[in-house]
Amino acid sequence: MTNGNDGNDGNDRGDEGRRRARTAPVDQLDAVPDALDPPGWGGDSPHDAIFTTPELWGGEAEVRENDYQPHVPSRFPDIESVASEVRELERRVRARLTPVFPLEVRRNPPLRSILRRYRQFAMRDRSAVIDEMGRDPVYASRFTPALDFLYRRYFRTRCQGIENIPATGRAILVANHSGALPYDALMIMRAVEREHPAARQVRPLLEDEVFHFPYLGTFLNRMGGVRACPENAEKLLAEEQLVAVFPEGIQGIGKLYRDRYRLQRFGRGGFVKLALRTGSPIIPVAVVGAEEATPMLAKITWLARVLGLPHLPVTPLFPLLGPAGLLPLPSKWLVRFGEPVDLGGEGGPADAEDRLLVARWAESIRSKVQDMIGDLLSTRGGSAFA
């Protein structure tokens, strides 16, 4: 589409006409069709669409299946939307509704000022426009200081290999999972946002047990977490975002302290299929320290089943101190991002159906993460809290 500023020259309906139209009183709406020029189209005439829309002079607009363009507000609406705009305005004026531009006739909700104050109060810590996967930037920024405190002062996190994360483009971070609560997901998000020069955001994929857990799931969703399923992951990767997966899943969270840093089975290799299908590199991530932050000494299986929880941990502080016992211990954390592994070089999307290949890749990534954990544990030295 060309810029309309040039096309305006030959337009017989100049600025004067439009100015007249804007100030036209309501009862002349039918007489002055120009009054139906709604805001948002700038100063350009909608009739310019005739030059840019092939449909209007008999041609055919062709749209291919995968030619999906994101919503870019066009300056030239096609004739159908011009007509619909006019019809909608007419309908609104007839029904005496609030039209798109100010009118004297306006619906008045009762207790307008109280309603307005209440709405401002209720909207104080949330954004009216959110990410399409549910991340609320205002809500998330409210928790940034607390998470920064956890990251820097409390866990004294050391981050290594941040340069392995690309400045742009998609990637799948594959990390080990531990702790009764998913602090590791939040700390990986913080690490990349703080340390990476591009301050990239990581979208962790949460297993159903976490995502649908009351309050916790909602909180993580507003912070940027997404329910783990292929559709969501593919959508995020298609938008060139960073996705963090914890293939150990709920098994990883339910690890006992004596099994710490021993990786569980890496699911069914869903993340490998995802990488093969979308052609995304895999970045192995090792997190050390999370196991000691909420060391799970035992699990009360029967009570967890009664309460409908995935597992009910017994830590040194929980359930002894009640909900406060869920706060983590001040262990020293190390986060390492490994070299990206590009699966696309070996095969292609068709390989995602090859179960054996997927299992081999999953095992190879798992051993990479396990090796990195071993490395970090040996560099950390004796005490987990020093």
Partner 1 sequence: MARADGENGTRLRGPSAEARDRTVAITGACTYLGTELIKLLEADPRYQRVLALDIRRPDLPPDLIKTEHHPVDLTVPTVGSQLAGLLRGVDTVVHGAFLSFPTHAASWAHELEDVGTMHVLDACAQVAPARLLLLSTTMVYGPSRGNPNWLSERAPLRGLPQSRYVTDKVRAEVQVARHADEHPETAVAVLRFAPLLGPTVSNYVTRFFSRPIAPVMMGHDPLLQFVHESDAVQALKRALDRDVSGPFNIVGEGVLPYSTVLALMGRVPLPMPHFVARRLYRALWATQIAATPPPFLDFLRYLCVADGSRAERELAFRPRYDIQRAIHDFLGLTAEDEPDIARAQG
Angle at 156 between CA 241 and CA 379, to 5 degrees: 90
Using the contact rule CB under 8 A, the part of the chain among 124-132, 159-167, 255-263, 364-372 near partner 1 is: 124-132
Residue 129 CA to residue 137 CA, distance in Å, equals 9
Please, what is the minimum distance in Å from the beta carbon of residue 46 to partner 1? 14
Q: Please report, in angstroms and rounded to a whole number, the separation of the first and last CA atoms in the chain.
A: 62
Residue 120 CA to residue 343 CA, distance in Å, equals 50
Candidate residues 64, 104, 145, 308; the one interacting with partner 1 per rule CB under 8 A: 64
Residue 106 contacts partner 1 per CB under 8 A: yes
Residue 113 contacts partner 1 per CB under 8 A: no
Q: What are phi and psi of 41, to 5 degrees?
A: -100, 10
Q: Is the peptide bond before 214 cis (omega within 30 degrees of 0)?
A: no
* Residue 91 β-bridge partners: none
Cα of 155 vs its chain's centroid, Å: 25
- Inter-axis angle of helices 137-149 and 183-195, nearest 10: 90
Are 235 and 222 contacting, i.e. CB atoms less than 8 angstroms apart?
no
Residue 123 contacts partner 1 per CB under 8 A: yes
- SS3 state of residue 189: helix
Residue 132 contacts partner 1 per CB under 8 A: yes
Q: Within a 10 A sphere around the Cβ of 357, how many other Cβ atoms? A: 18
Please, what is the minimum distance in Å from the beta carbon of residue 325 to partner 1? 19
Residue 235 contacts partner 1 per CB under 8 A: yes
Candidate residues 133, 327, 341, 359; the one interacting with partner 1 per rule CB under 8 A: 133
**Helix (H) or strand (E) segment spanning residue 204:** strand 202-206
Candidate residues 29, 97, 256, 327; the one interacting with partner 1 per rule CB under 8 A: 97
Candidate residues 128, 167, 307, 386; the one interacting with partner 1 per rule CB under 8 A: 128
- Which of 91/153 has CB closer to partner 1? 91
Residue 222 contacts partner 1 per CB under 8 A: yes
Q: Please name the residues in contact with 247: beta carbons below 8 A apart, sequence gap of 6 or more.
A: 174, 266, 267, 269, 270, 271, 362, 366
Residue 22 contacts partner 1 per CB under 8 A: no
Residue 115 contacts partner 1 per CB under 8 A: yes
* Residue 309 β-bridge partners: none
- Which of 71/258 has CB closer to partner 1? 71
**Number of shown-chain residues binding partner 1 (CB under 8 A):** 61
Find the length of the chain: 386
Using the contact rule CB under 8 A, the part of the chain among 103-111, 140-148, 177-185, 311-319 near partner 1 is: 103-111
Please, what is the minimum distance in Å from the beta carbon of residue 174 to partner 1? 21
What are 386's two structure tokens?
Answer: 């020093």
Candidate residues 20, 152, 212, 360; the one interacting with partner 1 per rule CB under 8 A: 212
For partner 1, the binding residues in 172-191 under the rule CB under 8 A are none
Residue 322 contacts partner 1 per CB under 8 A: no
What are 227's two structure tokens?
Answer: 């329910």
Candidate residues 5, 28, 98, 367; the one interacting with partner 1 per rule CB under 8 A: 98
Candidate residues 3, 19, 26, 80; the one interacting with partner 1 per rule CB under 8 A: 80
> Which one, of 148, 245, 251, 149, lies nearest residue 203 by Cα?
245
What are 47's two structure tokens?
Answer: 């009739």
Please, what is the minimum distance in Å from the beta carbon of residue 53 to partner 1? 9
Among all chains, which residue has been given the structure tokens 């696309």? Answer: 344
Binding site for partner 1 (CB under 8 A): 55-56, 60-65, 67-68, 71, 78, 80-81, 84-85, 87-88, 91, 95, 97-98, 102, 106-109, 115-116, 118-120, 122-123, 126-130, 132-134, 136, 138, 208, 212-218, 221-222, 226-227, 229-232, 235
